[in-house]
Amino acid sequence: MTKNKKEPSYVKLHESGELQARIDSLEAILDHCILCPRKCGVNRREGEKGFCKTGLKAVVASYNAHFGEEAPLVGVSGSGTIFFSNCNLGCVFCQNYSISHEGEGVEVDSGQLVAIMISLQKQGCHNINFVTPSHVVPQIVAALPAAIEKGLHLPLVYNTSSYDALETLQLLDGIIDIYMPDFKFRHRESAGRFANAPDYPDTARRAIVEMYRQVGDLEMGSRSIAVKGLLVRHLVMPGCLDETEKILKFLASLSPQTYVNVMEQYRPVYKAHDYPPIDKALSHKEYEQALAYAEKAGLTRLEQSGILRLLAKMGIV
């Protein structure tokens, strides 16, 4: 699994001129926006806004060296996260609703986004981690040439809900080094009720298959820090274990070596208190069952950071 350090492929795309061609294709989509499965069709170049409430400029809520991400991303110096405001999903349980639903943040132009990436690299971060990027892909990619000219060389992480259009992902082939999708729902009913996106399950499956085609299983460089590949999250939710089981089986069918973080930190926030059965916290028993499903499915690379599991080993829960 360990690979020697090498130049990210997006640098080669820039040198060949292909990166600029991708930028042109992505920016053209903004005239009649179909970047994501919502396909709102608004003219974002003229400031029109669709479901994601984002016009021509990306909105950034915060950026920092983040130490709460998965171990292969954090390493010793942190993951260089850039949190984009707004979202193309409508999750009623969003933990960052002030950012994703209420749009907390500041509009940035391409030069400012370049400065953010270079700043994170200078801080020693192991990667540039784009959080909730689906609706601002053209803005992200457009900033890369100038960032590359200023010395950007870190792996790029696409940290997404998986509600991504296949056509947009295909334009990212060779640009993104590490895909980190969260596969949330397996049933149309759940996706429609909890995220206003009944087409999410089929969309997410297609998206993750495409991500895997592009980057394969997660590869580690020195100090067990990720350099390329797929890392999948699944937030286990109360009363939804049948969906968890199906999602984990799908990921195992993709590859038994798929790196998966089975996440235990669900808590009912935002509007979740009005939506049973997700109106309560996840129980330790449910989380242990989810891990059992992962092992039964044949997944061999699981993130070992579950707080509930740690507390159980200590005899606290």
What residue segments make up the domains of the chain, in order of their start? 9-231
- Residue 98 predicted with pLDDT over 70: yes
Place of tokens 């608004």: 42
Q: Which tokens is 97 given?
A: 């609703």
Please state whether the peptide bond connecting residue 138 to the residue before it is cis, i.e. omega within 30 degrees of 0.
no
- Residues 297, 162: Cα–Cα separation, whole Å: 21
Tens-place pLDDT, residues 19-63: 999 999 999 999 999 999 999 999 999 999 999 999 999 999 999
Distance CA 226, CA 101 (A): 31
User: How is domain 9-231 classified at the architecture level of CATH?
Assistant: Alpha-Beta Barrel (3.20)
Report the alpha-carbon distance of residue 8 to residue 177 in Å, rounded. Answer: 7
Using the predicted structure, report yes or no on whether residue 245 has a pLDDT greater than 70: yes
Percent with pLDDT over 90 in the chain: 92
Q: Which two tokens stand for residue 279?
A: 């109106």
Mean pLDDT value of segment 292-314: 75
Task: Indicate the pLDDT class of residue 1, thresholds 50, 70 and 90.
Answer: very low
Q: Record the pTM.
A: 0.94
Q: Of 33, 15, 8, nearest to 168 (Cα)?
A: 33
- State phi, psi for 228 to the nearest 5 degrees: -165, 150
